[in-house]
Structure 1
Amino acid sequence: MPSLLLLPGDGIGPEVMAATERVIDFFNRRGAGFELQHGLVGGSAVDKEGAPVSEETLAIGEAVDAILFGAVGGPQYDELSYEMRPEAGLLRLRKHFELFANIRPAICYPALADASSLKREVVEGLDIIILRELTGGVYFGEPKTIEDLGNGQKRAIDTQIYDTYEIDRIARAAFELARTRRQHVTSMEKRNVMKSGVLWREVVEDAHKDGNTDITLSHMLADAGAMQLVRDPKQFDVIVCDNLFGDMLSDIAAQLTGSLGMLPSASLGAVDERSGRRRALYEPVHGSAPDIAGKGIANPIAMIASFGMALQYSFGMVNEAKALDGAIAAALADGLRTADIAHGVTPVSTNEMTDAILGKLEKAL
């Protein structure tokens, strides 16, 4: 039986996860047989379990096929130590399960082409992927500290570290992904000022020459890439970059679609040679949005679409994934909008948007 661990987290996380559970129930009523387990992460885990993610939750994650993650964080946790902040729970999940490949699609649904801050012709039909290396780089490199130098001076240190194997595996994942799409990879780094960027380009080139020359490979400095994403985003297919640049560039790409509340992501590990199973965590790109938490107005689409990615990447349910994506597009085409994408029309609630998606899904399957 396929199994999922649901980690709603904080803020709007529980609300959008509840909406997604309704979608999972829909598939279960049609024989999918998903077994669900529930756990805590982030601030809710700190409050009840004394850590942003517990050993017990990690053990459950080891046993299931995939993890669905909502969002973490809130202003009430801002004064906690670095190790106890809600975000540390997500970082530990990524590191513990070696989820090195973060797939962040940026797709502009036809009905939302006017919701972007860019002109319709720039974003209409947009379909790109940011592939972000997720377990290395400056977010995990050591030393990471703030030193007291005396005389009122301090020094903050974050360390950017990449080994060859880390770059090689994300590069090969990019080529594999592009092979199922438009066969074009753009690698972005800052080789002009960073030694890690020099190594990044070298290893990506080597991986390209080793069995991947059927894929077109381009290189671009990450700052120039940010400019090109808002100038002509449709020139790209798959963009591969390190943890830091991937974090920033994927948020830029997300805004091209009109709202962070629209976009899912998948964080994947290597395939286990014995079980054939790939560790995976699926999460919306948006944050916990504490300012709207509990109001019933959060956009559930990114969380629901993250489950759609799980259908495709973890469970091989490609037709079901396509049907779910089509249901989301159809609901939007009918003019339904949550507050973040309303832009002058009367917004619907989280539940109303979920109702509409389920109604379209009912007709599709």
Structure 2
Amino acid sequence: MTILGALGGDAAARAVTDTVAEAVAALRPAAGRDWSGVRAGQVEWDCLHTAEHMVSDLFAYATQLATRAPAAYRPVEYTLDPPGTGAEGALEAIEAGGVMLALACRTAPRAARGFHPYPFRSAGREGFAAMGMAEVLLHTHDMAQGLDVAFRPSAELCGYVLARLFPHVRQGDDPWRTLLWATGRGELPGEEPVDGWRWYNNPLVEAERLTLEALTVPAAADLALGGDGGFDWVSGGPFEGTREGASLITAAYEKGAFRPEWGSYVLVRREDDRAVGSMGFHGPPDEEGRVEIGYDLAVAARGKGYATEALRALAGWALARDGVSVVTARVDPANAASRHVLERGGFRQAGHVDGAGGVLVFERRGD
């Protein structure tokens, strides 16, 4: 499994810069040709239009992130200017777009988000970086096919894009080949062809004082290896349950069985952007629409209502999803504090796991 280990704005900026550099280096040998007369691989555009699309995406993502666009794309269009700009100008514009997106990633606060429509209406600096990287990698591939030049980007860059935007896809031994397959551009042994596809940015669930941020695969991998996952934790964190949940995410990802909505969420206090614990699901809903939830809160953050607040928000979010009818939780009978959290969160005792005296089962049902 190939995942860029470093997290944060500087790492995201470097990844964007490296991606653009590899793309421009591959396309430059064809800069003397008329790109407007060559179709870009399987897409319907010519190579010059495809390059302009790449430029537009890079600048647009930078704008969305830098301005914290809240609910829509900013009303601005990015095109090659003047009309008639050729291949050399297009390469210069791609480099400029890469610089702007890298700068936005490097300077944006960790919690900054900007609008992006799919699938959860926003992205942060690492999400916009990965989307920009994907656009450059994939459309450079398209152009390279049309221009008959070689292009094979580094495994680290492809692995990061897969882990960040395609967490439901098993990466395999060749991340580039997997990325091409996942976006309908190639074949993968043992897998059906991909006709339609979307990428994933991690969901957020807002509570009164907290933002619940779904762990991405790169963040989970960092936590599982002893890092902080890119979060600023209160004293004592990250915690044992958080690291265990992160390990489950990376294990599921390696098997191609991870479902991004149904992993772990880090509880981030909005007033100071510090992580106070985690809460998440033990897996996706079963055939009966049941999903189990668990949580882990810092000792220093207990007694402030954070667990109850987060539980209400995340359970409500889950019950609003298609196919979910009940959220369950297990608790030791001796853990009175956890029982009270569940009760205040709208859960009711529904039995025992192993008969009377065993682990208690609580559940909250949808309307």
Quickly name the TM-score band, shorter chain normalised: under 0.3
Bigger RCO (CA 8 Å, 6+ sep): 1
**What's the TM-score, normalizing by structure 2?**
0.27
**What's the TM-score, normalizing by structure 1?**
0.27
**Higher strand proportion, which one?**
1
Larger CA Rg, structure 1 vs 2: 2
